[in-house]
């Protein structure tokens, strides 16, 4: 297999074409952004951590019957994945109140929900990723009713799998963002699952173990990514 042209470069990843039909290379960068790209910096080791963490979590989900774009780990900061068409509606699962949920609805941080919430947001920095309902997604032609139902169902199943895994290593998964894509007529999980896209708290101390340490200048950012990679293991 050979890497060929660069297909896309985003805030945290680069996608390269390969000479294998339907497969691309996903390269994780050390670049970090927050607040729709307003805050920018470099977190040394972030690309390696996010790649290794995502590989491990995709493998766990695969064993539980979740279809993903993941094929295999190539290097410390690259994985081979299926070349999906990303659906421009991000799926967010929340187990505990924090972040924008608190800002938008006046909740205190740390309220444990009786059951997880699922919401969608428009994948657009330009429009600040606004919340969407099913009707918005349909009328904008982003996804069909069946695809929306699939994303919601899979997001809740993924939540249960991840909650169980992270509880076993002393971590609470507070909330997380998923991206789904189309591949050969199916909707499958894509992108990454990492401290960039999830909020993790230590089970005992409630210490934040994710990108919030960068967002809010909490310190220890590089150490946090390294700690999460170590806890999750190979």
Q: How many domains does the chain have?
A: 2
Domain end position, chosen among 36, 61, 82? 82
Please answer whether residues 188 and 151 qualify as being in contact, where contact means their C-beta atoms are separated by less than 8 angstroms.
no
pLDDT digits (tens, 9 = 90+) for 49-83: 999 999 999 999 999 999 999 999 999 999 999 99
Q: The tokens of 143 are what?
A: 């996804």
Domain assignment of residue 95, yes or no:
yes
Q: The tokens of 55 are what?
A: 């590989």
Domain assignment of residue 42, yes or no:
yes
Indicate whether 174 and 189 sit together in one domain: yes
pLDDT digits (tens, 9 = 90+) for 21-40: 999 999 999 999 998 777 99
Indicate whether 137 and 170 sit together in one domain: yes
Residue 18: the pLDDT is 97
Indicate whether 48 and 98 sit together in one domain: no
* Cα distance between residue 43 and residue 13, in whole Å: 13
pTM: 0.96
**Phi and psi at residue 128, to the nearest 5°:** 65, 35
Indicate whether 74 and 142 sit together in one domain: no
The 10 Å Cβ neighbour count of residue 125 is: 13
Handedness of CA 35, 28, 50, 95 (dihedral sign): positive
Q: The tokens of 162 are what?
A: 């991840």
Indicate whether 125 and 208 sit together in one domain: yes
Residue ranges in the chain whose pLDDT is less than 70: 234
Indicate whether 213 and 187 sit together in one domain: yes
Indicate whether 9 and 60 sit together in one domain: yes
Domain span at 148: 87-220
Indicate whether 26 and 127 sit together in one domain: no
Reduced to 3 states, what is the DSSP secondary structure of residue 129?
A: coil
Residue 234: the pLDDT is 61
The CATH number linked to 41 is: 3.30.200.20
Across all residues in the chain, what is the average pLDDT? 96
């Amino acid at each position: 297999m050979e890497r060929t042209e660069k297909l896309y470069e985003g805030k945290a990843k680069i996608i390269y074409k390969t000479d294998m039909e339907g497969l691309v290379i996903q390269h994780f960068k050390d670049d970090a952004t927050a607040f729709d790209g307003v805050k920018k910096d470099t977190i040394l080791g972030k690309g390696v951590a996010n790649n290794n963490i995502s590989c491990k979590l995709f493998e766990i989900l695969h064993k539980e019957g979740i279809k993903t774009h993941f094929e295999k780990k190539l290097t410390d900061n690259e994985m081979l994945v299926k070349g999906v068409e990303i659906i421009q509606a991000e799926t967010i699962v929340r187990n505990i109140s924090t972040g924008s949920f608190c800002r938008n609805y006046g909740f205190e941080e740390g309220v444990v929900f009786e059951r997880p919430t699922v919401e969608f947001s428009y994948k657009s920095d330009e429009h600040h990723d606004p919340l969407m309902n099913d009707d918005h997604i349909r009328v904008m032609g982003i996804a069909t009713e069946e695809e929306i139902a699939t994303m919601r169902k899979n997001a809740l199943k993924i939540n249960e799998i991840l909650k169980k895994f992270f509880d076993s290593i002393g971590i609470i998964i507070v909330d997380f963002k998923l991206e789904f894509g189309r591949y050969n007529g199916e909707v499958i999980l894509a992108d990454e699952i990492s401290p960039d896209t999830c909020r993790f708290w230590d089970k005992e101390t409630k210490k934040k173990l994710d990108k919030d340490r960068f967002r809010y200048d909490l310190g220890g950012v590089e150490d946090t990514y390294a700690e999460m990679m170590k806890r999750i293991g190979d």
